[in-house]
Amino acid sequence: MSVTNDQDAALRIASGRKPFVEPMRLGERLKEIRLASRWTLEDVSQRTGLARSTLSKIENDQISPTFTAVQKLINGLGIDLPQLLSPPKSQPHTLGRRDLTRRGGGQQHPTPTYEHELLSCQLAQKRMIPFKTIVRARDFREFSEWVRHDGEEFLIVLDGCALLYTEFYEPLRLEQGDSLYFDSDMGHALISISEEDATVLSVCTATEIV
């Protein structure tokens, strides 16, 4: 059990509050229902009134939903309790998949602040989205709003030096070889602070790159 889960359990005991159900595979089942309906976390948040961060933690079995949260899920998604608690369908295992991307052969996706090169674009139903980014932005004011998308993200600086802004932390300087893992629904923005544009390699679970 993680430290966070230990702390949550201690708080529940201290307050006398008990989870309505144990996490088990409820989070996986919730995600299965969401994806089957082609809903984003934001869609489910609007339907249920639960925060995106809360939904993400439930789907990843980081917290146990309370009775109130379960009621909101059932009412907001238009399902009944047995549907929510039924075991997720077994996913067939795919063996031997691979997708080679030669140097410079990725799908180009330029934005005003970044030049993304999406990698492994021929492989369908990926659980991760890898991409290489040249960071053109030099000032945080070049971003009209925070970058945010569902899921989690890992990045490592390949060349240059970058400064990562996030809405909950002080700006973080990242040198060549430094890496970071973070929740990508937290607002973030990356700028280059070296003479040359910084280049980073990222892997995320989101369905949209901004």
Is the pLDDT reported for residue 210 higher than 50?
Answer: no
Show the tokens assigned to 167. 């809405």
Reported pTM: 0.56
Strand, coil or helix: 90: coil
68: number of Cβ within 10 Å: 10
Cα(192)–Cα(199) distance, rounded to whole angstroms? 9
Contact 191, 139 (CB under 8 A): yes
Dihedral in degrees, nearest 10, Cα atoms 2, 4, 8, 9: 20
The stretch 107-118 carries a mean pLDDT of: 90
Which tokens in the block code for residue 69?
């949260």
Q: What distance in Å separates the CA atoms of residue 179 and residue 135, rounded to the nearest whole number?
A: 15
**172 pLDDT above the threshold of 90:** yes
Residue type, 74: I
Lowest mean pLDDT among 62-66, 87-91, 152-156, 169-173: 87-91
- Express each pLDDT in 118-145 by its tens digit: 998 887 777 888 999 999 999 999 999 9
